[in-house]
Chains A and B, each alone.
Chain A
Amino acid sequence: MIPIELDINGQTIEMEVVPDLTLLDLLRAVGVVSVKKGCGEGDCGACGVLLDGVYVKSCLILAAQASGHSVETVESLGNVEHPHPLQTAFVDAGAVQCGFCIPSMLLAAKSLIEDHPEPTVEQIREGLDGNLCRCTGYVKQIEAVQTAAAVMKEEDHD
């Protein structure tokens, strides 16, 4: 067992884990269920989190490696009463069908907007390339990221 300490959405967690526990399994075990497992092999992108602000696939990272770092998941973005502009834009654009891919895609979108505050369609396509969605055909998601980016920019100015 390995002792770890990490910050999950602003809360510090200390525990002992087996060496091969993935960050994905750890997060789900402690009740952060927005992080989804679609493959466990780094291919689907349903398990994305922001590790010290960088978008990563949590099934490819060991919990032990994440020790000492901070993890952000969609729970930290907003909630039903106070959603983040990305969440509002996704829902209103019709970009959420089954929703299984969405929490992770929102984090990928947040990270890409940080890099490109006014993302072009090309930049969005590149930024979301790792997030498989079998329901939507991606059209409305690309639209939603553009809408959200515009709202976020506006909010920044205010």
Chain B
Amino acid sequence: MTNTFSQVGTNVRKVDGMALATGGSLFVADLAPENALCGMILTSPHAHARIVRMDISKAEALDGVFAVLYHGNVPRILHTTAGQGFPEPSPYDTAMFDNKVRYVGDRVAAVAAETPEIAARALSLIEVEYEILEPVFDPVKALQPGAPIIHDEPDAHVVIPVPYDKDRNLAAFVETSVGDVDGTLARCDIVVSGTYTTQYAQHCPIEPHITLCELDPYGRVRITSSTQVPWHVRRIVAQCCEIPVRRIRVVKPRIGGGFGAKQEVLIEDVCTMLCLRSGQPVLMEYSRKDEFVSSRTRHPSVCTTTLGFSKDGKIQAIRMHMVLNTGAYGSHALTVGSNCGSKVLPMYPCEHIEFKMEGAYTNLPVGGAYRGYGATQAVFSVECLIDEVAAKLGRDPLELRVQNHIRSGMGSPIFKALGEGTEGVEMTIGSCGLPECISLGAEAIEWKKPRTSSGRKARGVGMAILMQGSSIPHVDMGAATIKLNEDGSFNLLMGATDLGTGSDTVLSQIAAEEIGVDTAMMIPLSSDTDVTPFDVGAYASSTTYLSGGAVKKAALLIRHQILEVAAEMLRCEQDKLSIEDGRILGGAKVITISDVALHSLYSHNQKQIMASASHITEKSPPPFAAHFVDVEVDLDTGFVKLLKYVSAVDCGTTIHPKLAEGQTEGATMNGISFALTEEYLFNEKGRMLNPSFGHYKIFTTADMPEMVTIMVPTYETTGPYGAKSVSEISINGALPAISNAIFNACGVRMMHGPFTPERVARALREKS
């Protein structure tokens, strides 16, 4: 496809790139005033316990301590920490501090003190007496009768009508079915089934959670926070601290990565309360250990899936039963759970589908939003089982996928059946570049080339196909305001939250394209709740598609206003005029946008050329991808070496090709690292044993395989300039693709991540 755009589709310089590369003062920690107090949290050493006595007097009396918070002196407001649309689909099961702790790492108290040393000393002076309760760590056991009840408080509840049964540790539940799965499976020529599990993992943004709260002279709180959801922060802090929204301003500076971890209002409420109580600015940051233990994680999963095929290789029925471990709180349990179905099951259209999801409370770290959002957990089983079917049929797994995958013009009953706490919406697939993703990816990995194993090194290839979504239809909203300055530049004020993804750049390109100027003329400002319009935040792969839609609409309004003034200046019909590269063409003479700005601000009939627009969506068009991997398995040690990894992705139009590739590469690498090494280790008391990068291994340059990224252009008519989403999808492929490649290499089926040498070696031993 040739690019007919001047800004869209080009690799303009990332707007914040050089400021970041020169080490500018841009992140929360860089912006803290010298006199900021240090906020610090005391966490629970027990997995499940009631606090029977607490004494904070010694901590309060310590010199340099300005505030101490615990359940005895803060309001008990049950809420969810999940940064989601209101009313939230996650249960209200969390208090700022409670008289019960539900996992090792749960909050017990917080202090604000002059220095970190004093804060730490103050925490050690807080006396807590616990009554230890029996914990439960296994999500399947937690759901069984007789299991210890984690949320035995009477007031935990849901705020939308969804199933919730805290007396059974059931934080979330979804069930849906179409057709007759039982009957169809009984008639199928081939039925495969398996239980696949995924492990605890953390997002590992290199900047951990951090928040700065300051009181201004008007008594308002300014929260500068590393967050993906500034508006949800404002709303939830107002809720928890019982202050009106109008007293809060949330500012998002540059963010050192989020990946979903920062779609959570984790420390802003406590930090604000400390600031209000002390009257001083307070800086609160998580250590790396806190980030692992007390932040959010990828919900571990136990997924039992059954596929039924006829002997001609046509899929007939799918059944999926997913149990998610949501840990001590139900943050995102329902929605991650429904996405397990909605982002995977439609990939193989058939008439008989059953999906059931149970989200179980346990006394372990809390699940949350993590790039991939359920699709990662669910696609593992489906894509491995497709290979199992291919093996049974003696077919090429690639061909079998080609025969069965969803295509442009097709729908799935699942789209309507599974929404996010509400009903979903019916959807027909518009753009679908899956066939090209598969063929180009296969070519890059040399799919057909025979791999020769030698000695103890077995070679194999594997693949997986993927889909995701682009924002949540009827739920998400993005908005933007644009205003024109004298020099022909524009302030682009967006609710959309650039968390390092490059959305300030991409959205600037969209605005510039629509107006007809160079991207350099846009001055983006994202997410200041006092200044920019609303946006739900950076999640659900929504920014380019949804917030981009808002930006494009606002830019169109601006273009009209510019042409209206220009027509007045040039005394001609507005529809004769057009804008190209910042100049107004079609009149008696060429004028610039700067001329128009000067005229409109100073000369005649003065007004500020500015416009705002909001955008919602009826659809969540899926991006698609095909991932391929070439592996070498050491049959003695079980070490899996990736020789080459290919990610071919259809995200519609790539507004900024390099940034889209970067999103794909980053997500792919995170997926590989998750598949091969990342996992939480716990002792028998539920304490995480490896909360550091030294013991929780994420991939570095030394570990990476050769990476090939292929962007397959399609055009999604409902998206801005044809764009869909790109950020999440590629984290999902590694687990099934590598499992399939290992199977191809040495005939063992890895069903439990991560595929560490020990696990693979054990599987090899069991096989022989």
Show the binding face of A for B, using Cβ within 8 Å.
28, 33-44, 46, 73-75, 77-80, 83, 87, 90-103, 106, 124-126, 128-142
Whether, in the assembled complex, B156 has its beta carbon less than 8 Å from a beta carbon of chain A, the answer is no
**In the complex, how many angstroms separate the beta carbon of B399 from the nearest chain A beta carbon?**
30
Report the separation of the CA atoms of residues A130 and B698 in the bound assembly, to the nearest whole angstrom.
Answer: 11
- A selection of 17 A-B contacts at a CB cut-off of 8 Å is A33-B29, A34-B23, A36-B256, A39-B287, A39-B692, A43-B694, A44-B206, A91-B21, A98-B206, A98-B257, A100-B256, A102-B20, A103-B21, A125-B702, A126-B701, A138-B665, A140-B661
B656-705: which have CB < 8 Å to A?
658-659, 661-662, 664-670, 692-694, 698, 700-702, 704
Report the separation of the CA atoms of residues A33 and B210 in the bound assembly, to the nearest whole angstrom.
Answer: 15
Once the chains bind, are A98 and B17 in contact (CB under 8 Å)? no
Whether, in the assembled complex, B749 has its beta carbon less than 8 Å from a beta carbon of chain A, the answer is no
Once the chains bind, are A91 and B14 in contact (CB under 8 Å)? yes
**In the complex, how many angstroms separate the beta carbon of A106 from the nearest chain B beta carbon?**
7
Whether, in the assembled complex, B208 has its beta carbon less than 8 Å from a beta carbon of chain A, the answer is yes
- Which residues of chain A are within 8 angstroms of B707 by Cβ–Cβ distance? 137, 139
- Which residues of chain A are within 8 angstroms of B667 by Cβ–Cβ distance? 137
**In the complex, how many angstroms separate the beta carbon of B498 from the nearest chain A beta carbon?**
9
Report the separation of the CA atoms of residues A92 and B694 in the bound assembly, to the nearest whole angstrom.
Answer: 32
**In the complex, how many angstroms separate the beta carbon of B20 from the nearest chain A beta carbon?**
3
Name the segment of B101-109, B429-437, B499-507 touching the other chain: B499-507
Interface size class of B (residues with CB under 8 A): 35 or more
From the candidates B21, B29, B693, name the one contacting A99 in the complex (CB within 8 A). B21
Once the chains bind, are B207 and A98 in contact (CB under 8 Å)? yes
Which partner residue on chain A sits nearest B285 by CB separation? A37
Which partner residue on chain A sits nearest B708 by CB separation? A139
Once the chains bind, are B693 and A103 in contact (CB under 8 Å)? no
**In the complex, how many angstroms separate the beta carbon of A152 from the nearest chain B beta carbon?**
15
Which partner residue on chain B sits nearest A140 by CB separation? B662
- Which residues of chain A are within 8 angstroms of B693 by Cβ–Cβ distance? 39, 41, 43-44, 132
**In the complex, how many angstroms separate the beta carbon of A134 from the nearest chain B beta carbon?**
5
Once the chains bind, are B206 and A38 in contact (CB under 8 Å)? yes
Once the chains bind, are B288 and A100 in contact (CB under 8 Å)? no
Once the chains bind, are A134 and B21 in contact (CB under 8 Å)? no
**In the complex, how many angstroms separate the beta carbon of A131 from the nearest chain B beta carbon?**
7
Given contacts A43-B693, A96-B14, A136-B665, whether A106 and B21 have CB atoms under 8 Å apart is: yes
From the candidates A28, A33, A106, A135, name the one contacting B662 in the complex (CB within 8 A). A135
12 extra A-B contacts, CB within 8 A, seeds A94-B661, A138-B669, A139-B665: A39-B692, A80-B18, A90-B21, A91-B18, A97-B257, A97-B501, A97-B659, A98-B501, A132-B693, A134-B666, A138-B700, A140-B658
Once the chains bind, are B702 and A132 in contact (CB under 8 Å)? no
Once the chains bind, are B704 and A87 in contact (CB under 8 Å)? no
Once the chains bind, are A41 and B665 in contact (CB under 8 Å)? no
Tell me the dominant secondary structure on chain B's binding face. Answer: loop
B697-730: which have CB < 8 Å to A?
698, 700-702, 704, 707, 709
Once the chains bind, are A128 and B701 in contact (CB under 8 Å)? yes
Whether, in the assembled complex, B13 has its beta carbon less than 8 Å from a beta carbon of chain A, the answer is yes
Report the separation of the CA atoms of residues A78 and B665 in the bound assembly, to the nearest whole angstrom.
Answer: 28
Report the separation of the CA atoms of residues A40 and B659 in the bound assembly, to the nearest whole angstrom.
Answer: 30
Whether, in the assembled complex, B601 has its beta carbon less than 8 Å from a beta carbon of chain A, the answer is no
Which partner residue on chain A sits nearest B665 by CB separation? A137
B240-292: which have CB < 8 Å to A?
254-257, 259, 287-288
Once the chains bind, are A80 and B666 in contact (CB under 8 Å)? no
Given contacts A94-B11, A139-B709, whether A99 and B25 have CB atoms under 8 Å apart is: no
Given contacts A33-B25, A99-B500, A138-B669, whether A94 and B701 have CB atoms under 8 Å apart is: no
Once the chains bind, are A132 and B287 in contact (CB under 8 Å)? no
- Which residues of chain B are within 8 angstroms of A142 by Cβ–Cβ distance? 701
Once the chains bind, are B208 and A124 in contact (CB under 8 Å)? no
Once the chains bind, are B23 and A41 in contact (CB under 8 Å)? no
**In the complex, how many angstroms separate the beta carbon of A63 from the nearest chain B beta carbon?**
15
Once the chains bind, are B668 and A41 in contact (CB under 8 Å)? no
Once the chains bind, are B20 and A131 in contact (CB under 8 Å)? no
- Which residues of chain A are within 8 angstroms of B709 by Cβ–Cβ distance? 139
From the candidates A41, A99, A128, A137, name the one contacting B254 in the complex (CB within 8 A). A99
Once the chains bind, are A126 and B658 in contact (CB under 8 Å)? no
Which partner residue on chain A sits nearest B658 by CB separation? A94
Which partner residue on chain A sits nearest B645 by CB separation? A137
**In the complex, how many angstroms separate the beta carbon of B581 from the nearest chain A beta carbon?**
22
Whether, in the assembled complex, B746 has its beta carbon less than 8 Å from a beta carbon of chain A, the answer is no
Once the chains bind, are A136 and B206 in contact (CB under 8 Å)? no
- Which residues of chain A are within 8 angstroms of B288 by Cβ–Cβ distance? 38-41, 43-44
- Which residues of chain A are within 8 angstroms of B518 by Cβ–Cβ distance? none
Given contacts A94-B11, A129-B702, whether A28 and B29 have CB atoms under 8 Å apart is: yes
Per-position 1/0 for B468-511, Cβ under 8 A of A: 00000000000000000000000000000001111000000000
Once the chains bind, are A137 and B668 in contact (CB under 8 Å)? yes
- Which residues of chain B are within 8 angstroms of A102 by Cβ–Cβ distance? 20-21
Given contacts A106-B21, A135-B662, A139-B665, whether A100 and B701 have CB atoms under 8 Å apart is: no
- Which residues of chain A are within 8 angstroms of B694 by Cβ–Cβ distance? 41-43
From the candidates A90, A134, A137, A140, name the one contacting B205 in the complex (CB within 8 A). A134
**In the complex, how many angstroms separate the beta carbon of A107 from the nearest chain B beta carbon?**
10
User: Lowest 5 A-B CB distances belong to which pairs?
Assistant: A98-B500, A34-B23, A99-B20, A137-B665, A100-B256
Once the chains bind, are B23 and A75 in contact (CB under 8 Å)? yes
Given contacts A96-B14, A99-B500, whether A140 and B21 have CB atoms under 8 Å apart is: no
**In the complex, how many angstroms separate the beta carbon of B361 from the nearest chain A beta carbon?**
29
- Which residues of chain A are within 8 angstroms of B585 by Cβ–Cβ distance? none
- Which residues of chain B are within 8 angstroms of A95 by Cβ–Cβ distance? 662
Report the separation of the CA atoms of residues A98 and B499 in the bound assembly, to the nearest whole angstrom.
Answer: 6
- Which residues of chain B are within 8 angstroms of A138 by Cβ–Cβ distance? 665, 669, 700-701, 704
Report the separation of the CA atoms of residues A124 and B768 in the bound assembly, to the nearest whole angstrom.
Answer: 40
Which partner residue on chain B sits nearest A77 by CB separation? B22
Once the chains bind, are B692 and A74 in contact (CB under 8 Å)? no
Once the chains bind, are B206 and A134 in contact (CB under 8 Å)? yes
Given contacts A38-B288, A41-B693, A136-B662, whether A96 and B701 have CB atoms under 8 Å apart is: no
Once the chains bind, are B203 and A134 in contact (CB under 8 Å)? yes
Once the chains bind, are B208 and A38 in contact (CB under 8 Å)? yes
From the candidates B254, B501, B670, name the one contacting A134 in the complex (CB within 8 A). B670
From the candidates A37, A130, A136, name the one contacting B666 in the complex (CB within 8 A). A136
Report the separation of the CA atoms of residues A72 and B669 in the bound assembly, to the nearest whole angstrom.
Answer: 31
**In the complex, how many angstroms separate the beta carbon of B13 from the nearest chain A beta carbon?**
6
Which partner residue on chain B sits nearest A126 by CB separation? B702
**In the complex, how many angstroms separate the beta carbon of A109 from the nearest chain B beta carbon?**
11
Report the separation of the CA atoms of residues A83 and B23 in the bound assembly, to the nearest whole angstrom.
Answer: 11
Whether, in the assembled complex, B16 has its beta carbon less than 8 Å from a beta carbon of chain A, the answer is yes
Whether, in the assembled complex, B30 has its beta carbon less than 8 Å from a beta carbon of chain A, the answer is yes
Name the residue in B19, B21, B287, B499 with the highest tally of chain A Cβ atoms < 10 Å from its Cβ.
B21
Which partner residue on chain B sits nearest A99 by CB separation? B20
Which partner residue on chain B sits nearest A34 by CB separation? B23
From the candidates B18, B30, B256, B259, name the one contacting A33 in the complex (CB within 8 A). B30
Whether, in the assembled complex, B204 has its beta carbon less than 8 Å from a beta carbon of chain A, the answer is yes
Name the residue in A33, A40, A93, A101 with the highest tally of chain B Cβ atoms < 10 Å from its Cβ.
A33
**In the complex, how many angstroms separate the beta carbon of B240 from the nearest chain A beta carbon?**
27
Name the residue in A28, A99, A132, A139 with the highest tally of chain B Cβ atoms < 10 Å from its Cβ.
A99
Report the separation of the CA atoms of residues A102 and B24 in the bound assembly, to the nearest whole angstrom.
Answer: 11
Report the separation of the CA atoms of residues A6 and B27 in the bound assembly, to the nearest whole angstrom.
Answer: 26
Given contacts A99-B254, A134-B204, A136-B662, whether A37 and B21 have CB atoms under 8 Å apart is: no
Once the chains bind, are A134 and B662 in contact (CB under 8 Å)? no
- Which residues of chain B are within 8 angstroms of A90 by Cβ–Cβ distance? 17, 21
Name the residue in A42, A74, A134, A141 with the highest tally of chain B Cβ atoms < 10 Å from its Cβ.
A134
Once the chains bind, are B669 and A137 in contact (CB under 8 Å)? yes
From the candidates A43, A46, A96, A130, name the one contacting B21 in the complex (CB within 8 A). A96
**In the complex, how many angstroms separate the beta carbon of A20 from the nearest chain B beta carbon?**
9
